[in-house]
Structure 1
Amino acid sequence: MHIEMKGINKAFTSNQVLKNAGFFLKDGEVHALMGENGAGKSTLMKILTGVYQYDSGTILVDGKEVRYKNPQEAEKAGIVFIYQELNVLFDLTVEENLFMGKEIANKFGVCDRKAMRKKAQEIMDKMGVHIPVGAVMSELSVGQQQMVEICKALMVDAKVLIMDEPTAALTQSETEVLFEVMKSLKAKGVSIVYISHRMEEIFALCDRITILRDGEYIDTRYIKDITMDDVVQMMIGRTIGERFPQRHLTIGGEVLRVENLSHKSLFHGVNFSVHAGEVLGVSGLMGAGRTEIMQAIFGNLPVMEGKIFIDGAEVKIHNTRDAIHAGIGFITEDRKTEGLLLDKSIAQNIELANLDRVSNRGVISNAKRNTLVKQGIEEFRIRCFNADQECGSLSGGNQQKVVIAKWVYKQPKILILDEPTRGVDIGAKKEIYNIINQLAAQGVAIILVSSELPEVLGMSDRIMVVCEGRVTGIVNAAEADQAKIMTLATGGNIA
């Protein structure tokens, strides 16, 4: 299927989000669509699939002008969009989510559960996804939910598959499985639009790349003809320097120590420590228990046994309030449901997390509130219309900056960052890395949980690897590489 989008313009009220944007997709190619958060990538694809209607421009599919009224029309034409924002019903099972609106009926017009279960299992097996089809979606991790979404899209006989940050919640092994499926689809003539901020994926997988910047078309190039530096230059209009900022920090005394922390089914005998000014990277495969360990330290999960020490003194953490009082901050991996109030403004999100800083004797001071919020927008370079803009209308990277801002201003001793750059463009990633280094320079103990091995290796002083709920090794970053980390992540030993 050939798709050509020319001169696409789109404005939301007074905000012009696309200005003469364009895109051209060929048969059987994997085509990267890149740009900073807010550049208009997802909006352009939502216009193609009828989620939004464009103000002007032309869309041609196989030479014929089209204008899909809704995603269902686009899907019938063979164009399927896997959204970055999960589109699942959490109270239903995996099987029920897969067949929502596509139920298989028997000759009596009744849902054929057996046939649906069989087909669901076939799709899951094809993807290498080991999730029970009868599992309730709310019981799954974000990464597992993402894999179910991908499986759901593959149930449609798609000619074009649009993937918006499909690997953001996946670990290395799940990503490799997805890539094999994509290669198989490409071999069958399926075209794939691949939206991602992960440069390694783009250069390993894609044939061509189109760049948008500030809603405008910049260029389309063959991957073999460009470098990562070229892509960054086109995306942000400037060079960005080294991908990971240099760390020349002095590591101080122990701030956090965990001894024999255990949960009845999720993790066992966890021991580690973090020092002032140190970045402890945490790596492991999906379901290894990384996030669960951090949730327990933050009081979100009950522990069966174990001790937590802060500044050498044992602390009892029964809930998140205890953790915050002890000086622990937690930037969750799921910013949309756990990190932000999406229907509230930037100002309200920052204010609610810092009431003690913006109030006098229990009464909110507008002057203090406005000063803190203005500082947050400027310091963290949050791209927005104003402080009253709802967080749900911000791009993913700017949402993440709001989450970071509200926690940084609480001035924690220990800051846990769980997938802090998921779905964030390369320019915003560099800004987040600089913030991490600045906090470390101020003596904050940082725990960085990430599924991106280059990020863990590039930002950490030490790396703790988790496999099946147990810590299989803690190595100095200077002595680590991807092979060693993956060996430990799969239960192996390193010399």
Structure 2
Amino acid sequence: MSQTPILEMRDIAKAFGKFYALKGVSLTVYPGEIHALMGENGAGKSTLMKILAGAYTATSGEIFIDGKPHPIRGPKDALAAGITLIYQEMQLAPNLTVAENIFLGSELSRGGLVQRKEMVQQAQNVINRLGAHFKASDLVMKLTIAEQQQVEIARALHRNSRVLVMDEPTAALSSRETQRLFELIMRLRDEGMAIIYISHRMAEVYELSDRVSVLRDGQYVGSLTRDKLNAQELVRMMVGRPLSDLFNKERDIPQGDPRLAVHHLTDDKKVQPSSLVVRSGEIVGLAGLVGAGRSELAQLIFGVRKATGGSIEIDGQPVTIHTPREAIGHGIGFLTENRKEQGLFLEMAAAENITMATLERDASYGLLDRKKAQTISDEAIASLNIRVPHAQVRAGGLSGGNQQKLLISRWVAIGPRILILDEPTRGVDVGAKSEIYRIMNQMARRGVAILMISSELPEVVGMSDRVYVMREGHIAGELTGDDITQEKIMTLATGVTEAHQQAVQHD
């Protein structure tokens, strides 16, 4: 690794009004290294990289390229410095060809005529260098997400970029596509490119990074070289406390009578007759393999899917739920697993997203009580520690963890009796996870019955008072107390008994 940094960001600060997203952050990156940038959602990673890419202008601080001051006041300054940022959301024109996207803004022309043939040839040379299998003449809209990502990288290579920033690049990739991306990243590193890699997935950081720098609350915490990497230290740097404190499940919360009772509920498709009970003050896990019917069962309870049989009781009284509106009327909140497509209104303000489920309740003669709505949103932002510069900020511009807390706050606002959480910490880092677990404990202590669907077994074990396990549309079993282990959950989820597993191992 070169001893001369290709990039130095010194004492970078960024203020949005009175809110400081960054406070004196410094970052040093060398040629030929993969430098991971970690921190909980809202720690300032994306803000720092947007300053580097010229999308934001720093309030104060300096940027050096090859040891020399290089102010970046806009995207053109970043490109001139050899810096390219590949955003999590692709910045491509889908109706144009690969070549046209690679040359977008720097088209080749002679005598006022665009040299399309030459552009295709040059673009194809870059594509071949990547080892990609699409053609320069292909339309971007016909490519997979992984291939579109390769187009972004090809554009960076065409620009002779020396620093490549990748923000959560594997979020929409399969495991096979992810591995191919890793191979490409390591090849670019070996060719001398500096790569800044933002991810909340520790396994990726372990596999790829030469160094890791950590931000927390808009400040630089420190860096670790590859030989010093360990989960305990990384988590301590990111959230300010050890890994063992992550779940912090409160076991002394009193549990009352059954609040939600589901009897033989079915849609005769994804969910076969299934029964479960959740008491007030109880967190009940619903585990199982993907496709086992967990989300579908939750959707039946909330009225998103139509039930063909079975019944539901709330506080011992039979209820009929055909729609989400009726479910909300009975005090049920439902956090969907797909926050962007099924939960959030991305183009609306944070405050509007929070109060979306209470509009009808708080309206008077059809008119919204704006003062009350503002009070609800302000209180939610404060109590759930949602990091926003102000309540009117667009929801789509928030980090994943803050978006998730925004959705949870919507259901907290209705004063629920029952809260169904489908993958409550999917796509968020350890800091945001810890915050969400704190909120769950808080709600349980208020007497709310919580049904938590999760594919993360440590989460199920760490947060559940009881666990139901689904397999192929059925409730395969229930676990309590010391029986709540990852091994026993998987035994029920797969239908493979421990004796059978041992027999297979002996064979």
Q: Same fold (TM over 0.5)?
A: yes
The answer to whether structure 1 residue 407 and structure 2 residue 411 are counterparts is yes
AA aligned to 1:101 is: N
Is the 1:464–1:475 Cα contact (8 Å) retained in structure 2? yes
Which stretch has the larger CA shift, 399-408 or 344-353? Answer: 344-353
Is the 2:41–2:402 Cα contact (8 Å) retained in structure 1? yes
Distance 2:7 2:156 in 1: 17
Distance 2:34 2:311 in 1: 48
Which residue of the other structure, out of 260, 266, 278, is the alignment partner of 1:255? 260
Distance 1:407 1:306 in 2: 27
AA aligned to 1:185 is: I
Deviations 1:300-349 (A, max 9, x none): 3445x343423366654433213223432111233344333344444433
Which residue of the other structure, out of 305, 315, 325, is the alignment partner of 2:329? 325
2:108 corresponds to which residue? none
2:222 corresponds to which residue? 219
Q: Cα 1:354–1:134, aligned 2, differ >3 Å: closer, same or farther?
A: same
The answer to whether structure 1 residue 351 and structure 2 residue 355 are counterparts is yes
Q: Cα 1:108–1:233, aligned 2, differ >3 Å: closer, same or farther?
A: closer
Distance 2:420 2:76 in 1: 38
TM-score, L = length of structure 1:
0.73
AA aligned to 1:212 is: L
1:101 aligned counterpart, secondary structure:
helix
Distance 2:461 2:445 in 1: 19
Is the 1:240–1:427 Cα contact (8 Å) retained in structure 2? no
1:242 corresponds to which residue? 245
5 Å-filtered alignment, 1:60-71, equals 60=64, 67=72, 69-70=74-75
Is the 2:15–2:21 Cα contact (8 Å) retained in structure 1? yes
Is the 2:265–2:311 Cα contact (8 Å) retained in structure 1? no
Q: Cα 1:207–1:454, aligned 2, differ >3 Å: closer, same or farther?
A: farther
| CA-CA distance at 1:282 after TM superposition | 3.3
Higher Cα radius of gyration:
2
| CA-CA distance at 1:25 after TM superposition | 3.0
1:307 aligned counterpart, secondary structure:
strand
Deviations 1:82-113 (A, max 9, x none): 41x57689xx89xx99898369xxx999x9xx
Which stretch has the larger CA shift, 190-199 or 454-463? Answer: 190-199
Q: Cα 1:358–1:472, aligned 2, differ >3 Å: closer, same or farther?
A: closer
Which residue of the other structure, out of 294, 300, 313, is the alignment partner of 2:304? 300
1:245 aligned counterpart, secondary structure:
coil
The answer to whether structure 1 residue 377 and structure 2 residue 381 are counterparts is yes
Q: Cα 1:308–1:386, aligned 2, differ >3 Å: closer, same or farther?
A: same
Is the 1:297–1:317 Cα contact (8 Å) retained in structure 2? yes
Distance 1:156 1:4 in 2: 24
| CA-CA distance at 1:194 after TM superposition | 3.1
Q: Cα 1:30–1:470, aligned 2, differ >3 Å: closer, same or farther?
A: farther
1:269 corresponds to which residue? 272
The answer to whether structure 1 residue 42 and structure 2 residue 42 are counterparts is no
Distance 1:108 1:320 in 2: 55
AA aligned to 1:81 is: I
1:101 corresponds to which residue? 101
2:167 corresponds to which residue? 164
Q: Cα 1:134–1:388, aligned 2, differ >3 Å: closer, same or farther?
A: closer
Deviations 1:408-437 (A, max 9, x none): 121333322223223434333222102212
Is the 1:346–1:402 Cα contact (8 Å) retained in structure 2? yes
2:285 corresponds to which residue? 280
5 Å-filtered alignment, 1:69-80, equals 69-70=74-75, 74=79, 77=82, 79-80=84-85
The answer to whether structure 1 residue 310 and structure 2 residue 310 are counterparts is no
Deviations 1:55-107 (A, max 9, x none): 55554556676649439975995845241x57689xx89xx99898369xxx9
Distance 1:97 1:480 in 2: 53
| CA-CA distance at 1:43 after TM superposition | 1.4
Distance 1:426 1:384 in 2: 19
1:5 aligned counterpart, secondary structure:
strand
Distance 1:316 1:135 in 2: 44
Distance 2:229 2:432 in 1: 22
Distance 2:390 2:82 in 1: 40
Is the 2:62–2:69 Cα contact (8 Å) retained in structure 1? yes
Distance 1:150 1:482 in 2: 35
Is the 2:346–2:394 Cα contact (8 Å) retained in structure 1? yes
Aligned residues: 461
Which stretch has the larger CA shift, 453-462 or 309-318? Answer: 309-318
1:354 aligned counterpart, secondary structure:
helix
Q: Cα 1:157–1:486, aligned 2, differ >3 Å: closer, same or farther?
A: farther
CA RMSD of aligned residues (A): 4.7
Distance 1:45 1:70 in 2: 12
2:182 corresponds to which residue? 182
Distance 1:75 1:485 in 2: 54
Distance 2:247 2:371 in 1: 37
Q: Cα 1:80–1:270, aligned 2, differ >3 Å: closer, same or farther?
A: farther
| CA-CA distance at 1:40 after TM superposition | 1.5
AA aligned to 1:433 is: Y
| CA-CA distance at 1:260 after TM superposition | 5.5
Identity %, equivalent residues: 38
| CA-CA distance at 1:407 after TM superposition | 0.4
Q: Cα 1:181–1:263, aligned 2, differ >3 Å: closer, same or farther?
A: farther
| CA-CA distance at 1:371 after TM superposition | 4.1
Distance 1:97 1:313 in 2: 60
2:359 aligned counterpart, secondary structure:
coil
Q: Cα 1:360–1:481, aligned 2, differ >3 Å: closer, same or farther?
A: same
Distance 2:14 2:389 in 1: 17
- Unmatched runs of 5 consecutive residues or more in structure 1: 126-132, 138-144
